[in-house]
Chains A and B, each alone.
Chain A
Amino acid sequence: MSDTFLLDGRDVPFAPGQTVLQAALAAGIYIPHLCYHPEFKPHGSCKLCTVTANGRSMSACTLPAAAGLRVDSETETIRNERRALIQMLLVEGNHFCPSCEKSGKCLLQALGYELGVMSPHFRQLYPSRPVDFSHPDVLLDFNRCILCELCIHASAEVDGKHVFALAGRGIGKHLIVNAESGKLGDTNFALADKAAQVCPVGVILPKRKGFAVPIGARRFDDAPISAHVAEFTKESDA
């Protein structure tokens, strides 16, 4: 018999070493998240998975599950805060879903639907971020980057290539490519790399495959992201 903690009034079992997010997902309970990926060490940067644990706000992806912990996730206050986080992410970049190849399988978009985000609310920043199409097989559209760092970790830890990094601070922080020219085409990045598979939004896209899946048959067309919870435990395309 394993220990349990309380999540929105439900007993959730956990294995030693599991975080609150991991245990919740394993139990089939979805907690919104963007920068967490089951194959990488959580780093708690997107804050979408913020919950209250024994009354304190914590990132569920970095919070170790503990017996008797009392966690609240689906409260009105937390949903409002998550909605505001999505809205801030939307206005910080250039997220134009109608012209994005990732539309329908984008985690940011799917979370917008899940949380009922009807407007950007804040002032659009419309940053200027040139697209990098120097690589023969992969397009880089920085306009959609949400700084989740998953491509950075995948490239460094799985591919052993260190193709991506973050530069700058605060609102000036941005994704860069580790080449003297700054161009992806001047790196040893390959379409088969793990880093090419982990982007939750539409930054890293395979060329010549755009809009291959029709509207209605895309990943999140059938049901909200929370109903896809089983896909976020252990698989390659979380």
Chain B
Amino acid sequence: MKKLRVATTSLAGCFGCHMSLLDIDERLFDLLELVEFDRSPLTDTKEIGTQGPCDIGIIEGGVCNAENVQVLQDFRANCRILVAIGACAVNGGLPAQRNHLDLRDILATVYATEASLAAGTRIPDDPELPLPLAQVRPLHEVVKIDFFLPGCPPSADAIWQFLTDLIAGREPRVATQLLHYD
């Protein structure tokens, strides 16, 4: 059987969901019998789809800057099924706690007016730095998301159940006892 091609990335996330994926432990061997990884922190491949389209894209983290939007759109364009994993991807999560604050005020406080800053500290404006968005938004507000797995992070058992369903071609169902928003 041809292995499914899976891409993963973390946008405005903490890689905690990727850590939870690794936490499936020895089941990783079973997983690698069924899938091969495309772009992912696990392969260190930086571009998605260079070896052809992907079957499943798994994204943790919400969208907080222009690069996140670009990567998310690349994933959508290259993945048959796109999955939002973790609290941040699902509803913005912790990074979205800044959403009621004015971005200009936040940057000014952190980089310019805060009393403990070294003299001459300025708001970074290097062209290599992606511009932050006014608000952090969840993935489904930017592209179509096929399936969601909430949790901060979802447990390894929840991820395993979800992935085995998905790989088997079933609609993923997580048992109530494995479903958590925290």
Taking Cβ atoms with an 8 Å cutoff, the residues of A that contact B are 90-91, 94-100, 103-104, 109, 112-114, 116, 118-121, 123-124, 126-129, 215, 223-224
Contacts and interface: CB of A to CB of B under 8 A. Distances in A.
Interface of B: 84, 87, 90-94, 96-97, 99-100, 135, 137-138, 140-141, 145, 147-150, 152, 174, 176-177, 179-182
Contacts, number: 74
Given A124-B141, A126-B99, A116 B179 contact: yes
B152 A97 contact: yes
B181 A119 contact: no
Given A96-B97, A99-B94, A224-B176, A126 B135 contact: yes
A97 to B, nearest CB: 4
A107 B99 CA distance: 25
A99 B91 CA distance: 13
A114 B176 contact: yes
Contacts of B87: 96-98
Contact of A96 (B91, B100, B135, B137): B91
Contacts of B149: 118
B181 A103 contact: yes
Contacts of B94: 96, 98-99
A112 B138 contact: no
A119 B180 CA distance: 12
Contacts of A91: 91
B91 A124 contact: yes
Given A119-B140, A126-B96, A109 B181 contact: yes
- The interface centre, meaning the residue of A91, A97, A100 with most chain B CB atoms within 10 A of its CB, is A97
Contacts of B174: 118
A134 to B, nearest CB: 19
Given A118-B149, A119-B150, A97 B182 contact: yes
A195 B141 CA distance: 37
B145 A124 contact: no
A103 B138 contact: no
Given A96-B96, A126-B92, A224-B176, A120 B182 contact: no
